[in-house]
Amino acid sequence: MEQAYAYHLSPLHELTIVESNSVASQASTQIAAQMSLVLLRKTLDQQTANMTGAVQAAPAATAPSNPPNLGNSIDVIA
């Protein structure tokens, strides 16, 4: 099986040979990573929407029903 090569000049103007299989593999890996990030963003957006609905559906907090003289001071002497 013949290998395909891509030729390009490096910043030092030296001819560098890069195997096309390596380039294709790197591109494939980069695309897979980008797709993973897209999926993560969609999942986080959906969880945010679900939690927003849950918070809005929760009943509002009510004032405590204790008598006014309870809970006003803390006894710190044993």
CB atoms within 10 A of CB 23: 13
Give me the number of domains the chain comprises.
1
**Residue 30 structural domain:** 5-51
Q: What are phi and psi of 64, to 5 degrees?
A: -60, 145
In a domain, 9, yes or no: yes
7 vs 51: which has the higher pLDDT? 51
In 7-77, which residue ranges form alpha helices assigned H by DSSP?
20-57
Q: What is the pLDDT of residues 18-66, one digit of tens each?
A: 566 777 788 888 899 999 999 999 999 999 999 998 888 888 888 777 7
Q: What is the pLDDT of residue 23?
A: 73
In a domain, 31, yes or no: yes
Q: What is the pLDDT of residue 17?
A: 56
